[in-house]
Amino acid sequence: MQDRQGRLGLVFDPPLSGSTEPYKARVAGVGRALPETTLTTADLMASTRHRTKIDLQRYTGVRERRVLAGDGNSHTLATDAARESLERAEMEAGEIDVIIGCGVTKSRGMEAKNWAIEPPLATGVAQALGANGALAFDIGNACAGMLTGAFVLSNWIRLGRIRRGLVVSGENLSPAALNAAKHVRNLLSREVASLTVGDAGAAMIVERAEEDVPDILYGLTTVAKHSRLCLGHLTEHDPGPRMFTRPVALHNAAMKNMPLVYQQVLEAVGVPLEGIHHVIPHQTSKSAIKTGIRHITEHLGQKLHSHAVVTVDRFGNTASTSHTVALVDELQAGRVNAGERVALLALASGLVVGAMVFTADEGLVRSYPKVADDPTAASNGAPAPNGNGAAVANGHSTGTLQPATVVTAMRAQP
């Protein structure tokens, strides 16, 4: 909803009226988990049931994505990412006060249809980590889930309720892509967007800042009249979920609301767009990211400090984990320096629009020693790190499988 000045009703944290909370929050650590198996867009489109004549790679910029091939699920992805974030931050699981699960997918077993609503994913992660004293629960906000979870943790930290918390997500979305390949006929299909998704786990530790550092600022809003533009659900005859999107209407709604939201966020932070050193949008497609950034810069009449971060070409759209997956990429490549501002731009079904803006400190930057001499290596196909820091030649791991093999592997597990 807009007020008389055309401003959207964002929920800010800290509140813009003046924060009186005794503490500030910082991002203490991040981690990600990427499956070893790579599924290229060429292989995925070769498996379609119908002759679609869709050049998906040219249309979306997605060259490949990581997929689980019967060797994991949402729970294992989230747990692996959580372990990495703790290791990077040099923390023990027992130091975590709260764990919030924020994923879209909830797969537990090795079969694509084995989803569990309760108990929460966060409780399983807490048990696996040995964080037995942590409060654990799930929240859902589509692809803005992790930013929403971090929002909650930061608020509790500022109020002094907790010292640190962990936001986790494990997105097992690839069954939606395999299902879409069976049903898509042309670019007008409402399942085309499903062909871009991939699997990934992500985790972020937010804790009380011990020094006088810039606080994390969040601004989120929901334009609920667009809530039916992207719907996902399980089906009886297909393994895993199917997702139905009205991409043109969703894109138009996003382009109308995004510039207004980010203008308000920048005003709240008190810096121009060029004062944000790293802009990490939700990873939907290269063309959508490019168009969205152009709308923002034209609306503000300002330029970006540097190009927006793009990882969708190598990992696809990994839903709520996409910001953290991309942030780890930037940290591993040594592109983030202490004192630089990072903006994670949310765009999710709902329609949820917003941003999380924080300053990377020395501790966060030091937790990811640079692994590539060439800072462009992760974007140009040169050897780049996978989720565990190992090299992946030409953007591919050694575990490449054809779509039919992936499907078979998913169905063969007990």
pLDDT over 90 at 378, yes or no: no
- Please give the pLDDT value at position 232: 86
- The per-residue b/e assignment along 214-251, b for 16 or more CB within 10 angstroms, e otherwise, is bbbbbbbbbbeebeebbebeeeeebbbbbbbbbbeebb
- Please give the pLDDT value at position 123: 96
Confidence of residue 214 (pLDDT cuts 50, 70, 90): confident
Residue 28 neighbours by CB under 8 Å, 6+ apart: 89, 91, 164, 205, 206, 207, 363, 364
Q: Considering only CA atoms, which of 34, 142, 143 is closest in space to residue 78?
A: 34
- Please give the pLDDT value at position 379: 43
- Please give the pLDDT value at position 390: 38
- Please give the pLDDT value at position 1: 47
More confident residue, 276 or 386: 276
Residue 301 neighbours by CB under 8 Å, 6+ apart: none
Q: What does residue 107 show for φ and ψ, rounded to 5 degrees?
A: -70, 140
pLDDT tens-digit map of 93-104: 999 999 999 999
Low-confidence winner among 86-95, 212-221, 295-304, 379-388 (lowest mean pLDDT): 379-388
Confidence of residue 291 (pLDDT cuts 50, 70, 90): very high
- Residue 281, helix vs strand vs coil: strand
- Please give the pLDDT value at position 372: 54
Question: Do you know the residue count of the chain?
Answer: 414
CATH of domain 11-412: 3.40.47.10
Mean pLDDT across 319-328: 98
Average pLDDT along the chain: 86
- Please give the pLDDT value at position 112: 56
pTM, two decimals, is 0.87
DSSP-derived letter for residue 14 is: S
Mean pLDDT across 160-188: 94
pLDDT over 90 at 235, yes or no: no
pLDDT over 70 at 283, yes or no: yes
Dihedral sign of CA atoms 346, 347, 348, 351 in order: positive
* Percent of the chain whose predicted confidence (pLDDT) is above 70: 85
Confidence of residue 16 (pLDDT cuts 50, 70, 90): low
Residue 370 neighbours by CB under 8 Å, 6+ apart: 332, 333, 334
- Please give the pLDDT value at position 370: 76
Residues 40, 401: contact at Cβ < 8 Å?
no
More confident residue, 99 or 236: 99
Mean pLDDT across 300-312: 95
- Residue 98, helix vs strand vs coil: strand
Low-confidence winner among 64-68, 74-78, 146-150, 263-267 (lowest mean pLDDT): 263-267
